[in-house]
Every structure is written in C-alpha cells, then in structure tokens.
Structure 1
Amino acid sequence: MGIPFIKEFDFEYGKVEQVSPLIRRVVANNPGPFTFVGTGVYIIGHGEVAVLDPGPVLDEHFEALKAALKDETITHVLVSHGHSDHSPLAQPLADWAGCKTYAKNCGVPTAKGELGSADDLGFMPDVKVGDGDVISGPGWTIDVIETPGHTSNHLCFGLREENACLSGDHIMGWSTTIVAPPDGNMADYMRSLTKIEEHNFDILWPTHGAPVREDVKGFIQAYRQHRLDREAAIVKHLKAGETKIPRMVETMYADVDKRLHPAAAMSVLGQMLKLVEEGYVETPDAQPTVRSDFTWKALQKTA
C-alpha cells in the first residue's frame, strides 16, 4: 500500500491565506529537501489568536507575519518541536507581541536522557505543555497531544472546533518524516501514529506542504505500513548477511534524492534500534550508530 502523497500546493510566499474558518497560513521562503516549499506558519482564531511554528528568522518572513497580525492580539506562540525550521522565530515573535511561548522541553536533555531537539539550542519555551493541556481563545480550543518520534519532544495540536490536527512534522502530506536517533525514536513514532489515528481527526494540517483532507485514517495507516515495509526490507538485508546501514540505504532508497540518503540512514538506524529494543537484532556496540554492525537473531521474528 503506497502513501497517497500530496505534491500539489498552491501558495505565495509571505501572503496570509484563510485556509479554514479558524485557520490562516503564511509560508516562509525556506524551501529545501527537508522543508519542501518552506515552513507553513498557522494562525488560529480571529482577534485574539495563537500562532503555531513561526519558523526561521528571515526578515521578510517576520515582516509578513507582523503585517498579517498588526490589528490582532497574539495570545500564544506554540511550537511543535525545537527544530531550526520551526522554532527560531518563536521568541522574537512573542517578544514583539508581548505574549509567551508554549512547547515541550527544547534544547535540553529530557527525563529519559534524550536530546530534546538540540537542533535549535537557542529556544526554550516560557511555558512547558504536554498531554491533557488545553489552550484556548475566543472561539477556538486547542488540545495538546504529545507525539514523540520525529523528536522526543514533538507535539501535535488538536483544534476542537474543526476536528483538525495541526501535525507539525509528525505526519506530512508530501513526504514521510525523518526519525533520527538519538532524539528520534521509531518505537515511539509508531505508537504516536496510532495515538493520532485514534483521535479520528477530519483533517491534518502539517507544517510543510498541503493538508491531508481525504481519508485521514487511511493516510495514517499507509504511513504506518510504509514503516513496516521498510522494516521488512531491513530484515531481508540482515538475513542475507548485509549488516551495514549505508549499504542498505543504497538499495532501499535507490529512487530517493541522494541528498536525503544521510537522513534515510538515520531513519534506518531508528528502525534498527526498534528491532534491537524488541530483541530481534543485536549489535556489539553499546551506543549503535549508522556505521555499527547489526546481526539478525535467528528464529526471533518472521518477516
């Protein structure tokens, strides 16, 4: 089952667009192999609003957000996770607006010893939020949903009034997301996919690219199956005696832009660590890396 990716995306950099009754979007001009056309910043509500994932510090982008919000009050600046295409502008925007930033831990080790999105060490939220927290304003209510996997501190946000999920990088329409250890964790990621699926949202609004509007549950299931197919391919390589991740990537990702192969290797490492955690694979290294040797433990798993 292939993922029904959505590659078509009509937008204009810096232009505020009303994409639903309660959501507006402004796209930053930071395209790339990991950001697609750029970071989509979401403005939730009218009059008194929340802003999600303000994006990178780019003068034109910051000015575009100021222009879009000059006659409104920003009450909350929300951040899905601390990566450099999501969080750097959060504090400058909050300072300009006179409000606070909200996220899970960023830029520091978590209780589990994970990095906590060290990609943007300059960001630390004013208010730390997690499962069960509710953020609201006039006519809008947002539920905080912890979705570790892409990063240990990733959050999604459910907009009750539209049964919509602002999904950050957890689920994207244009591509799968990177799960790169040690901050990313594939076992956590798979559990978080199920968590979002069980909410039965009508629409997903990712930070990069177009929304997922058609058969959201089926899209998430295809996302999950893609990871399971990758895992089966890894197991096949291991059983054949191929123990090195870079060699696996050459064949498993032969049809993928080679600029993404290093990131793909990290995702394969994440998948491998999941198999190690489950007892199906072993490695002599105490802290496995992409260059480590991995060995299939015979008769442990059928794949």
Structure 2
Amino acid sequence: MGLTFLRDDPLLHGAVEETAPGVRRLVCNNPSAFTFRGTNTYIVGRGEVAVIDPGPEDAAHLAAILRATEGERVTHVIVTHTHRDHSPGAAALVAATGARTYGFGPHMTPPEAGGEGGDHGFRPDVAVPDGGVVEGGDWRLTALHTPGHCANHLCFAMDGNGVLFSADHVMSWSTSVVSPPDGDMADYMRSLGRVMARDDRVLLPGHGPALRDPKPFLKGLHAHREEREARVLAALREAGTATADALVGPVYGPFDPRLVRPAGRSLLSHLIKLEQEGQVARAEGENWRPL
C-alpha cells in the first residue's frame, strides 16, 4: 500500500487557523529537516482554553499564542512529549498566563544514557497516565500513552468531534524518527496498532497539516514500517555484518545527507526489535549480524 505525505501547508508563521471544530492551530517558526515548517501548537476550546505543545523557547511564537488567546484564559498547557521542539515554551507561557502544565511525566532517558533531544527541565504539574482525562469548560481530552518516538509520548482524543492529537507519533509530512534508547521501534509499532484500531476522523500532528480520513494513511504507514524492517534484514543478510549507519544506503537509497544520522538511529531501533525477536544479534563493536 502506498504512503502519500502531505507537504502543502500554507499557514503562515504567527497566523492562526480553525483547523477542526473547537481547535485552532499556529505554526512556530522553527523549520528544519526534522520539524518541517515548524512545530504545531493547538488551542483547544473557547473562553477557558488549553494550549497543546507550546513549542521551543521562542518569543515570537509566545507572542502569537497570546495574541490568538487575547480575551480568553489559558488554563491548561498540555505537553505531548518532552522533545525540545515541543515542551520548552511551556515555562514562558505559564509565566504569562498562570496555567498549569499537563503531561505524562519528565523525559525518561537522562542525557548520560543517550537522551539527546530531550527537554530534561520539564516536569508537569499534573501527570497524565494512559486513559487519563484533561478537561475544561467546553472540551474534554483523553490521553493515549503511545511510546515509540519518545517514551513519554501521549496522543489526546477530543470528545465529540473525532479529533486525535497525534503529535509526533503519526505525522502527515514524514515518518517519525525512532531513536534508541528513548525511542523504541517495538513500542512504536504497538502504539501504531492502538491508533489504527480507533475510528478517529482527523489526526492533528505535531508537524504538518491535518490528516483527514486517516485510516488509509495509517495502513500505509504500518506497511511502510514493516517493509523497511524487511529491507533492513535483507541488507544485513547481504552484508553479513554491518553497523546501523552502514545500512542506511542499502535500505534508503539516495538520501538527504542531513538525515543520514537520524535514519541510522531508526535503523538501529529496527535492529534492536529484530534482536528481541531472535532474527539478528550483536557482533563485534557496533556491528550486527543475521541469525
């Protein structure tokens, strides 16, 4: 099954759009090879509102959020996961509004254990477990713990309109990087299965435009991950032994040089999953071999 990414997203930085019933979207001006045009920030409800993923520390983006909520009260700042493009902006937004923060918990992999890219300073005021509910005056969100891209990753289902805030677990513009040890491919595939089993009408990702009628995309994404894993195993069998980085070329083909390292991290996560399944083993140094 094919997988077609959505890369047409005309929303201007600093502007705001009604992206789903009861949901407004802004895009932070932090574009990169990993963030597309920037981090999506969502405003949920009217009057007393929640802000989902305030983004990085960025004064212009903070000002845009405050303009978009002028005359309203921000009561909740919700963080889907603690990567530095999603959660560091929470502190300034809380200082400006007095809101409380909500999230699964602090970043689960310390820097010395490979937790690069994590916002290790974020601690939610309210820990939200799998199945936990966060609600305001005219909105209600139920959390789904979806580890894989990040161990403390949460998606949030909005009552009444078929919207799932999928954050970086399912994005419309690209696949998610799964970088061990905080990222885990086996967890990712299990979490993807949970989302596939749902009947959401719209997925609102952490980067890129909304995914409407998401079922075909989710099926394609699942097939894409399985196909890539099969290619990893085939390439390793062809090579005999290889590192994850050495497999990037055979698995991906011609590739953006900026993405070789994160691609290698995702391939490493595939190898760890295959090791758990008894299909590959670690060899000397950083090499892997098929079984």
| Same structural fold, with TM-score higher than 0.5 when normalized by the shorter chain | yes
How many residue pairs align between the two structures? 289
Q: Aligned AA for 2:138?
A: G
Match of 1:57 in 2: 57
- Superposed, 1:162-177 pairs within 5 Å as 162-177=161-176
Match of 1:300 in 2: none
Work out the CA distance in 2 between the residues paired with 1:242 and 1:177: 26
Match of 2:98 in 1: 98
Work out the CA distance in 1 between the residues paired with 2:29 and 2:40: 9
Please state how far the C-alpha of 1:132 moved relative to its aligned partner: 1.5
Contact kept, 8 Å, 2:77 with 2:102, in 1: the verdict is yes
Q: Aligned AA for 1:276?
A: E
Match of 1:253 in 2: 252
Matched, 1:13 2:13: yes
4+ runs deviating over 4 angstroms: 114-118
- Superposed, 1:75-94 pairs within 5 Å as 75-94=75-94
Residues 5 and 57 from structure 1, CA distance in 2 versus in 1: closer, same or farther, beyond 3 angstroms?
same
SS in 1 for 2:203: strand
Contact kept, 8 Å, 1:26 with 1:40, in 2: the verdict is yes
Work out the CA distance in 1 between the residues paired with 2:42 and 2:93: 13
Residues 225 and 108 from structure 1, CA distance in 2 versus in 1: closer, same or farther, beyond 3 angstroms?
closer
Work out the CA distance in 2 between the residues paired with 1:175 and 1:228: 16
Work out the CA distance in 1 between the residues paired with 2:260 and 2:115: 23
Please state how far the C-alpha of 1:223 moved relative to its aligned partner: 0.7
Work out the CA distance in 2 between the residues paired with 1:187 and 1:268: 12
Q: Aligned AA for 1:292?
A: E
SS in 1 for 2:200: coil
Match of 1:282 in 2: 281
Work out the CA distance in 1 between the residues paired with 2:157 and 2:68: 23
Contact kept, 8 Å, 2:235 with 2:250, in 1: the verdict is no
Work out the CA distance in 1 between the residues paired with 2:265 and 2:37: 23
Match of 2:120 in 1: 121
- Out of 216, 230, 237, the position equivalent to 1:239 is 237
Please state how far the C-alpha of 1:169 moved relative to its aligned partner: 0.3
SS in 1 for 2:212: coil
Contact kept, 8 Å, 1:243 with 1:293, in 2: the verdict is yes
Residues 107 and 118 from structure 1, CA distance in 2 versus in 1: closer, same or farther, beyond 3 angstroms?
farther
Residues 108 and 152 from structure 1, CA distance in 2 versus in 1: closer, same or farther, beyond 3 angstroms?
closer
Match of 1:68 in 2: 68
Contact kept, 8 Å, 1:107 with 1:117, in 2: the verdict is no
Work out the CA distance in 2 between the residues paired with 1:87 and 1:117: 14
SS in 1 for 2:74: strand
Match of 1:156 in 2: 155
Please state how far the C-alpha of 1:109 moved relative to its aligned partner: 4.5
TM-score calculated relative to the size of structure 1: 0.91
Work out the CA distance in 1 between the residues paired with 2:88 and 2:217: 30
Contact kept, 8 Å, 1:82 with 1:117, in 2: the verdict is no
Residues 252 and 109 from structure 1, CA distance in 2 versus in 1: closer, same or farther, beyond 3 angstroms?
closer
Structure 2 stretches lacking a partner, 5+ long: none
Contact kept, 8 Å, 2:43 with 2:52, in 1: the verdict is yes
Residues 83 and 24 from structure 1, CA distance in 2 versus in 1: closer, same or farther, beyond 3 angstroms?
same
Contact kept, 8 Å, 1:105 with 1:116, in 2: the verdict is no
Matched, 1:220 2:218: yes
| Deviation sequence 1:106-153 (CA, Å, 0-9, x none) | 23449xxx8777621121111111212111122211011100000111
Q: Aligned AA for 2:290?
A: W
Contact kept, 8 Å, 1:158 with 1:165, in 2: the verdict is yes
Work out the CA distance in 1 between the residues paired with 2:198 and 2:36: 27
- Between 1:18-27 and 1:115-124, the stretch displaced more is 115-124
Matched, 1:296 2:290: yes
Match of 1:133 in 2: 132
Once superposed, what is the RMSD of the aligned Cα atoms? Answer: 1.8
Match of 1:178 in 2: 177
| Deviation sequence 1:193-229 (CA, Å, 0-9, x none) | 0111112111100010011113x12211111111111
Contact kept, 8 Å, 1:106 with 1:117, in 2: the verdict is no
SS in 2 for 1:251: helix
Work out the CA distance in 2 between the residues paired with 1:49 and 1:115: 35
Contact kept, 8 Å, 1:115 with 1:152, in 2: the verdict is no
Please state how far the C-alpha of 1:242 moved relative to its aligned partner: 4.3
